[in-house]
Amino acid sequence: MNDMQTEVLPVDPIHPDPAIIARAAELLRSEQLVVFPTETVYGLGADALQAHAVEKIFAAKGRPHSDPLIAHIADEHDLEKVASNIPTIAWKLAHTFWPGPLTLILPAGPHIPHVVTAGLATVAVRMPRHPVALALIRATGSPIAAPSANRFMHVSPTTAQHVLSDLSGRVPLILDGGSCTVGVESTILDLCGDIPTILRPGGTSLEALRTQLPTVQAPTRRAPQHKERHDEQQALKAPGQMLIHYSPSVPAFLFEGTSEMIRATMLAEVQRRQAQGERVGILIADEDLATFQESGALIYTLGRTNEPEQIAARLFAGLRVLEESGVQVILCRSFSEQGLGLAIRDRLLKATGGKVFPA
C-alpha cells in the first residue's frame, strides 16, 4: 500500500493556519486519512461516521479489526453524536477533564459504524487538548476516529518524523505540530460496567479521577503472557489492551526494584551482554547517569525520577532513538507508579512484553 506521496505540512501548534486546517478537513470529508498532533501522541484520523474511510486506518496501520478506535470530538455536546444513554457521571467527567487525555467508554450511538467500535455495543470517545486537533474536528464537521499514527504494535509517535518513519507512502497528509506535550496516550475509563474501571492508564491520573469519582477502579494487573498477536476474532473493549504493544523492533527488558537494585542489576546485564558482543541501549533516569557513563552502553535519559511528566513526554522518543541507533537490546528502568507513573509503567511493561528483571 506504499503507493502514495505523503506530504508533511508544518502547522503552528497554538494558532494553526485556517487554510491548512481547511485543506486537511477537505481530505477527511472526502474519505481520506490525515495525521494530526494531539497532546498525547499523533493520531491517524478518518471521519468517524464514514465506515469506508475508517477502513483505511486499519489498512494503513496493519491493525486488526478487533481493536476498536477512539472517536475524537471538539465539544462536550458532540458526545451525543457518537454515544447514547449517556450517564450523568460522564457529563461530569467531561466537564472536569475535557479537553484532555481522558477517554470514556459509553454505550454506542446509532450512527457510529461498527468498524469504529469493533462491533461492540460501546464506543470510546474523548476531546483532545490540542488546538490543531480541535480546529480539525470542527472544520471537518464530524467526529474523527483516530488511533496512534504508527505501524500496529510499534512504538507510538510523538513527532511527525516518527509518523513518517512508520507510515510514509500510506497516508496523504501529516500535519506537523511539533512534539506532543503529554507523550503517552489517554486514560481509558469504562463507564459501562457496574464499577467505573480504568482499562488503560494514561495522561489523566487515577488520583485525579478519584477526586471526582472515588469508586473508580485501577487497571487490573495481568500475568505476563508472551503472545505475539491478539486473536482477530475476539473484540477488545478498548485500544492498548494487548500485553505486547508500543514495542520497539529489538528485544526490550524492564528492571524493577529500588533504584540501587535497578542500577546494580542493569549494570551487570549490560556487562554480560557486552561480553557476548551485543550492542546495548539503556533507558534510564538522570540520577542513574553516573552509574552507566563508563559502561559502554548507548544511553538515553528520560528525566529525573520525581518528574513523571518529563519522563512520559520523552518515553516513546527514547525507545525510538535507541531502536534506530542499531542496538540489539534495550534495557529499561522502572519508575514510581504515582500519578502519571502508572501510565509510564504500563507502556514499559507492554514495550517489553512483560519481560521483567528480577523475574
Structure confidence at residue 82 (pLDDT): 97
Phi, psi of 354 (to 5 degrees): 80, 15
Structure confidence at residue 246 (pLDDT): 77
Asked whether 269 and 357 are in contact (CB, 8 A), the reply is yes
Domain annotation for the chain: domains and CATH numbers: 7-212 (3.90.870.10), 252-357 (3.40.50.11030)
Identify the segments of the chain with pLDDT beneath 70.
1-2, 221-244, 359
Structure confidence at residue 225 (pLDDT): 42
Over its C-alpha atoms, the chain yields an Rg (Å, rounded) of 20
Asked whether 213 and 93 are in contact (CB, 8 A), the reply is yes
**Which grid coordinates are listed for 336?**
514510581
Structure confidence at residue 238 (pLDDT): 67
The CA distance from 4 to 93, in Å, is 41
Angle at 152 between CA 163 and CA 225, to 5 degrees: 135
Strands (E), the chain: 7-10, 34-36, 43-47, 70-72, 102-107, 122-126, 144-145, 173-176, 187-190, 197-200, 252-255, 280-284, 298-301, 329-333, 356-357
The CA distance from 19 to 16, in Å, is 9
Structure confidence at residue 223 (pLDDT): 42
pTM: 0.93
Asked whether 55 and 80 are in contact (CB, 8 A), the reply is no
Structure confidence at residue 235 (pLDDT): 63
Tell me which amino acid residue 218 is.
A
Structure confidence at residue 219 (pLDDT): 85
Using the Cα atoms of residue 195, residue 201, residue 207 and residue 212 in order, give the sign of their dihedral. negative
